[in-house]
Chain A
């Protein structure tokens, strides 16, 4: 569903992503792992165009975005692409001036031009799904971190994206709150959403990943199933996996 070809991104002198080629398959869960500063988050943000790569291509279904052309990307292209890719942030980023349900209907109403009543109905169903229907009219600050992240997942789902992107979704949470967020992600995996997750939780990666990408210094060191990665014999990867388990 997503083809990433020769993707590069440089910040000043630092080559964060160095010519990456990946295929993200539909209805599968892809997990990106690797040490800090390896370019995981930059790669994920490129898939939502929050970071615009310097060069390379990203294709989704039949449309392809070429980066680094003389003609910069049109705003409309960027927006169309973002509508199809739902992002869940490490720090939740719920709109602090909006209630839970208002957070969820914001995208459908403002961007997709849905009727408000319809958006609320769908939004309530999503809140039901993440177990927070009774919090619909509260503000983000009244919720725990875990609850905020569950709302953020519902907000991303409300756009009915073709792919869901998770950027270290539990890194900002206490272990006990982490469980409730992982539980929701697990449900989505079982429902065969197309998912890309950046995470440091190796246990979780092993459990949900259909495909694992190991990044280091902006390059893919290895990719495949979790078990194939463990058996790859690559010293660097073995060391990383054992240190985190």
Chain B
């Protein structure tokens, strides 16, 4: 099976797949995660602070996003919205879908992390005369952040792999490129295994970053 021809194809295709990984997969992941995390912080804060009017809205948002498949959401945004006159570039559509997704899931992570901060910590802040925002900013969020690092990395690693779904709305990321090469060379097994290995490399690097971050947080702050 691993004859010379296949080895040649694998060698030639490696960089052809890796390059869209660097130009599409990684930026897509980073941008979507950054926007998604920002959204998640807002959503979690609205929920724990029980902001009127907004609270039911964000609950509805989390319900919709978590209750429907990501792939279907992407199709609605990219193929569906043009019927309403909203034409989006495929990359923009992918970023919107991924950000909304991260926002919904990570908001639950953050909400749980915020609620895990012991009441005594909050009382100690209040007893000094700190107002709600000072307690939130100086006491609750730094402690909640630490708790939420491992599950947030989980979402981050998931997102790296989920970007492969963008191929279905015409984004020429790694998986799309490997599909094309597989179709041309009639070597689906080799090509799909190759792209799987590249995803694995990306995620392994992230796992290392996670371990480093956790170690650093432990050293830095109890």
Q: Which residues of A contact B (CB under 8 A)?
A: 48, 50, 75, 79-80, 82-83, 85-87, 89, 91, 93-98, 106-107, 110-111, 139-142, 155, 159
Contact = CB atoms under 8 A, between A and B. Distances in A.
Given A97-B143, A97-B222, A140-B222, A111 B121 contact: no
Contacts of B127: 48, 50, 82, 85-87, 89
Interface of B: 118, 120-121, 123-132, 134, 138-139, 142-143, 146, 221-222
A139 B129 CA distance: 23
Given A97-B146, A97-B221, A159 B128 contact: yes
Contact of A110 (B120, B138, B221): B138
B4 to A, nearest CB: 58
Given A95-B139, A97-B222, A106-B138, A89 B124 contact: yes
Given A79-B131, A82-B126, 6 more contacts: A85-B127, A87-B124, A97-B142, A110-B134, A139-B222, A142-B222
A93 B131 CA distance: 17
Nearest to B145: A97
Contacts of A97: 142-143, 146, 221-222
A93 B130 CA distance: 15
Contacts of A110: 128, 130, 134, 138
A103 B134 CA distance: 14
A167 to B, nearest CB: 10
Contacts of B222: 96-97, 139-142
B42 to A, nearest CB: 23
8 contacts: A50-B123, A50-B127, A94-B124, A95-B125, A96-B121, A111-B128, A139-B221, A142-B222
A227 B211 CA distance: 62
A91 B120 contact: yes
B146 A82 contact: no
Contact of A50 (B121, B126, B134, B142): B126
Given A111-B128, A111-B129, A140-B222, A93 B134 contact: no
Contacts of A106: 125, 128, 138
Given A110-B138, A139-B221, A141-B222, A95 B130 contact: no
Contacts of B128: 82-83, 106-107, 110-111, 155, 159
A158 to B, nearest CB: 9
A95 B134 contact: no
Nearest to B142: A97
Contacts of B124: 87, 89, 93-95
B140 to A, nearest CB: 10
Contacts of B132: 75
A107 B120 CA distance: 16
B120 A89 contact: yes
A189 B142 CA distance: 36
